[in-house]
Structure 1
Amino acid sequence: MKDLLFEVKDGIATITLNRPDSRNAFSLEMIRLWKESLEEVRDNDEIRVLVLTGNGIAFCAGGDVKSMKKGKGFVDLNEEVDKDFVSTGLKRKNSLWNYIQRIPLLMEEIDKPTIAAINGDAIGAGLDMALQCDLRFASDTARFGEGYVNVGIVPGDGGGYYLPRIIGIDKALDLLWTGRIIDSEEALKIGLVTRVCSHEALMDEVMAFANRLARGPQQAMRFTKRTVYQGLKTDLRTSLDMVSSFMGLVTEHPDYQEGLQAIIEKRKPKFN
């Protein structure tokens, strides 16, 4: 079995981390397939929504601790483990940059809606991967934690970037400094997840929501996502200038006329 599964159905792409015996901890094959899948999502206009989930009892445990003990794991995925291997700071930096850190960079290039279906524990880099998604639907049995501090390392996969933007600086530092594990109830309370579902209903609810988004006006939705994320990085004047350009473009699109006509006829719109 492949370490990562990728399928597309009805405009919805699903990436499933598939190392259940290792709680979906990273492997070289997983990272390579992950990058390839994200490039397909980014470039294929037939794909309208991305769902990320895990197989088994965990969403993702992040780095493989057993491999890390050998000097490998998520820090040196580019080389085979051997008795003569000597790890260096530069090798570990380059390995992060060339492999795992490609994932958040690719996610930032995807204008389409992305949803994490968190079926189980999301720990360390596993939590960081969920934070990269626009929305996070969590099982009521899922747990969350930024465990880097427990092994004396820093959040290397985006946690220090995403977490304070999502839940605020003080709550982010609480999780990052203590490495404590929280349940889905607390995660919802602090805004870490968007919605909590019963474990049995998680994927049904995620796919129902994804289907709703897949039927929406795609160009308007993608421009809206750009507006939101770019707005976090710029001033009001620049944001308004950009969104006025988006408005000029979307009102030339057939979806605009269909939306207006549907309102007049008091029916649901049928977007392309």
Structure 2
Amino acid sequence: MGAPLVVATIDHIQSWTINRPEVGNAITGADVIEAIETAVDAANEDADIRAVVLTGEGRIFSAGGNVKEMADRQGMFGVDERAKRRAYVTGIQRIPRALKGLEVPIIAAVNGAAIGAGLDLALMCDIRIASDRASFAESFVSLGLIPGDGGTWFLPRAIGWERAAEMTFTGDRIDAATALEWGLVSRVVPHDRLLADADELAGRIAKNPGEALRMAKRLLQESQAGSLDSVLGMAAAMQPLAHLDPEHEVRIAKWRTD
């Protein structure tokens, strides 16, 4: 068994591949959680990284929780009932907190089923591109559970309250075409083009100055919950820093000669 998250870097773009196909790329294992946190910290520290593409190894993007461990009461599911709340806080809930702190844009290249916490993982990304073989389900209720990783926060923001309620209360699976219609993904592409198209989009992002990208993402995040005044205040504070970035001077000089 190799690394739980395979990280590769080409120029300004990183690819992160969840590498647990034998368990459907489940993300509830401590090794996967720690690997995602480590990858986020490393990307934030590396000023050369400007975009990330996240995908799953094999046929599945992520099945979310490890259902076998759940059934056998192993891993985070093996603690007593009083400790389970803490197990979620110190376990899988570390993933949305880590990805919320990722400073660079992240694209989910959904190569197959994204189920339960796997769907929520895709929702934690800034942009989602789906293979035409992809499918999506907020499936917790079908196992008598609830979204324990922030799905009820992410899903309505992506597709609106009523469709989020339908997916959450039924646990039904939707296909890639429906996901596109509902705004869950920004595009659906032929399966064999998925990673190439995700890399192409990442390249269009990464051609822009790194600090401007990081600040623009932070402003977008603030706009989800902050007031207009707070966003304007942050923009007023950030813009002078952008003007001082050497890459801004390079871009202006290029604009003058074009």
Q: If the length of structure 1 is used for normalisation, what is the TM-score?
A: 0.89
Partner of 2:14: 13
Aligned to 1:2: 3
The reply on whether 1:247 has 2:239 as its aligned counterpart is yes
> Taking structure 1 as reference, are residues 74 and 198 closer, same or farther at Cα in structure 2, changes over 3 Å only?
farther
Distance in 1 (alpha carbons) for counterparts of 2:149 and 2:77:
11
1:26-69 CA-partner distances (Å, limit 9, x unpaired) = 33322222222222122222322111100111000011111101
Moved more, 5-14 or 63-72: 5-14
Q: Structure 2 CA distance, aligned partners of 1:185 and 1:225?
A: 28
Q: Give 1:165 deviation, angstroms.
A: 1.0
Q: Which residue of 2 aligns with 1:79?
A: none
Structure 2: how far apart are the matches of 1:60 and 1:155?
Answer: 15
Alpha-carbon displacement from aligned partner over 1:183-235 (angstroms, at most 9, x marks no partner)? 00000111101111110000011111112222211111111111111012121
Report the equivalent of 1:260: 252
Question: Retained in 1: the 8 A contact 2:25–2:62?
Answer: yes
Gaps of 5+ in 2: none
What SS class does the counterpart of residue 237 from structure 1 fall into?
A: helix
Pick aligned residue for 2:64 from 62, 65, 77? 62
Match of 1:46 in 2: 48
Q: Distance in 1 between matches of 2:129 and 2:198?
A: 7
SS at match of 1:196: strand
| Structure 1 unaligned residues grouped into runs of 5+ | 77-86, 267-272
> Which residue pairs with 1:221 in the alignment?
213
* Residues 128 and 162, structure 1, Cα contact 8 Å, conserved in 2: yes
- What does residue 180 of structure 2 align with? 188
Quote the residue 1:123 is aligned against: 115
Higher helix proportion, which one? 2
Shift in Å at residue 242 of structure 1? 1.3
Rounded Cα–Cα distance in structure 2 between residues aligned with 1:206 and 1:126: 18
One-letter amino acid of the structure 1 residue matched with residue 118 of structure 2? G
1:205 matched to 2:197? The reply is yes
Q: 1:54 to 1:127 in 2, by over 3 A?
A: same
Deviations along 1:231-252, whole A, 9 cap, x unmatched?
1212112211211111121112
1:73 CA displacement: 4.8
Moved more, 25-34 or 49-58: 25-34
Map 1:139-150; keep pairs closer than 5 Å.
Answer: 139-150=131-142
Deviating more after overlay: 228-237 vs 110-119: 228-237
Counterparts of 1:90-105 in structure 2, within 5 Å, are 90-105=82-97
Q: Percent identity?
A: 36
**Equivalent pair of 1:188/1:195 in contact (CA under 8 Å):** yes
Counterpart for residue 150 of structure 2: 158
Question: For residues 112 and 30 of structure 1, what CA distance do their matches in structure 2 show?
Answer: 20
| Secondary structure of the corresponding residue to residue 110 of structure 1 | coil
Distance 2:76 2:160 in 1: 27
Please tell me the residue identity of whatever aligns with 1:131: L
Secondary structure at 1:115's aligned position in 2? strand
TM-score, normalised to structure 2's length? Answer: 0.94
